[in-house]
Amino acid sequence: MKVRDIVEYSMQDEPSYGTSRAAVRKQGTDASNANRRANNQARNANDEMNVKAQQQYHKDKRVAKRVATGIPVRAMQPQTPGSPEEQQQ
């Protein structure tokens, strides 16, 4: 068999003996689908992390807008004897 015959009859595309073309196609599609699934899984994990980061950022931003009103008056008053706080000790 000459090289011209191989090219002309496209015998270089033939799978090895005992393997069908359908089996070769199935192997190729299985590999590409597995690769696609792995890529989607990685992308999904990254999306989840980005969503969590965005939620935390917006929460921190919302909390930062809150203005402290100062020290409560009851915290500045001395505790009197017999108050519930002293009785618990």
Structure tokens belonging to residue 80: 């009197």
pLDDT tens, the chain, 89 aa long: 565 655 555 555 666 777 788 888 898 999 999 999 999 999 999 999 999 999 999 999 998 887 777 777 777 777 776 666 655 55
* Pair 76, 70: CB distance under 8 Å: no
Which residues are CB-neighbours of 11 under 8 A, at least 6 positions away? 1, 5
